[in-house]
Amino acid sequence: MTNICYYPRRAVRDAALSPSARRFLLALCTRYDPQDAFTISLPDIKQQTPISPVTFRLANAALLDADYLILASHMDCKYPCYRFQQEQTLELNRNVCIRLLASGLPNAATAVFLYLYDCQGAGQPELSIAEISKHSGVSRSNLCIMLKDLSEVGLLQIERRQDSSGQHFSNRYSIPGTAAAN
């Protein structure tokens, strides 16, 4: 398995996809190759990230409904067999994703991280709180907490910026350990 995991780019900004479904999808993307069929079991996923049986079922159903996962087969195995929908992906450092999943941060932090990672790759490191909130699906008040939490666990660097008169304007965000951050 390579050090890259592939996350569906459209899932980053899919407002219909809950933060828990995004986190579940990230767990799947770090665990399985995008070209292979795989089975999903709660015990396997729980090794990577805490998830309740209810969240597991809801997130799995949401990913199937939104065509991020395709049912490949249900025969000859204890669990259904799936494939990822082939589409444009975001290339993520697998170790960074595993750290995020193991960090214990809320699902909303995953949604914020993925949005910022996508923006950084697109050359947009300077974003307003309102813009991040709108596209990540996280409220502004929770967003400030998520940004602080991501920074505290070393998954995000925040550069607070001011103009020459001392007025604050958009922060610059970077994900340590990525080419765009260096």
39-93 pLDDT per residue, tens: 888 887 777 777 888 988 899 999 999 999 998 876 566 777 888 988 888 999 8
Residue 179 confidence class, pLDDT cut points 50, 70, 90: low
Distance, CA of 83 to CA of 34 (rounded, Å): 7
For 103-122, what is the mean pLDDT?
90
- Please report the pLDDT score of residue 113 as a whole number: 94
Average pLDDT on 145-169 reads: 89
- What confidence tens digit (pLDDT) does each residue in 152-163 have? 999 999 988 878
**Average pLDDT, whole number, for the chain?**
86
When pLDDT is averaged across residues 20-29 and rounded to a whole number, the result is 90
Does residue 158 contact residue 105 with C-beta atoms inside 8 Å? no
Instruction: Name which residue leads in pLDDT, 99 or 49.
Output: 99
The answer to whether 11 and 17 are in contact (CB under 8 A) is yes
Q: What is the DSSP letter of 123?
A: T
Q: Which pLDDT belongs to residue 75?
A: 59
- Span of 11-15, 17-21, 44-48, 145-149 with lowest mean pLDDT: 44-48
pTM for the model stands at 0.85
Q: For residue 1, is pLDDT > 90?
A: no
**Could you give the CA distance from residue 56 to residue 52 in angstroms, rounded to a whole number?**
6
